[in-house]
Structure formats: structure tokens, C-alpha cells
Amino acid sequence: MTPSHGRIDVSVVGSVGDTRIVVRDSGPGIPPADRERIFAKYRQIQGGGAEGRNHGLGLTYCKMAAEFHGGSLAVEGPEGEGATFVLTLPVYVEERSTAGAQAAA
């Protein structure tokens, strides 16, 4: 959880085959032991003060949606230096036929 005076940075990096959306905050980070657990249904880590306001499904649904679309969602970053969430999604390039455009000309 990012403190009120903290910072959140978002970047998008596209490459051949995929796009990475990176969200980095300046909060306390997520301990390595909790990094897979935070994506499990109804699981929450201690701290941050938000335990009573949610049901522990947000990150579960985000990861499920990413995987449904052939991508992934992971958390990175050194403990104590903020959390970095990385959403990777495949890029599909649709081939378009120019036959219709040529016939119209």
C-alpha cells in the first residue's frame, strides 16, 4: 500500500509478441514469501490497513484475466522498496487484406 505522500509510476513497453504494463509504487513492498500467496482467492497479507475493506479477490481476478488472454501477472521488487506489478499480454497482429481496397479504387 502506497502512503498518501507516496508515488505510483505506470509504464507500458511493447515489443515483438507482447506488451508489458508495469505499475510500481513507493510503499513497503511485498515480502518474497507472500508474492504467490497474494494471488490466491481470499488470501491477504498482513499490514497496509485494508484487510477489513476487501475480500481478497482483486488480484485473483486480475491474474485470471491475464492468463485467460494468454498473459501473466507477477509482482517483483526488493522488499522495503515498493512493489512492482508486471502485467504481460500477448500482441496479436491481424493481417488485413488489401483486395477490398484495391477493388474500391
**pLDDT one-digit tens code per residue, 30-47:** 888 888 888 887 766 655
Structure pTM?
0.72
Between strands 18-25 and 72-76, the pairing is: unpaired
Domain positions in the chain: 8-104
What confidence score (pLDDT) does residue 63 get? 93
Q: Which fold has domain 8-104?
A: Heat Shock Protein 90 (3.30.565)
CA atoms of 11 and 21, how far apart (whole Å) = 6
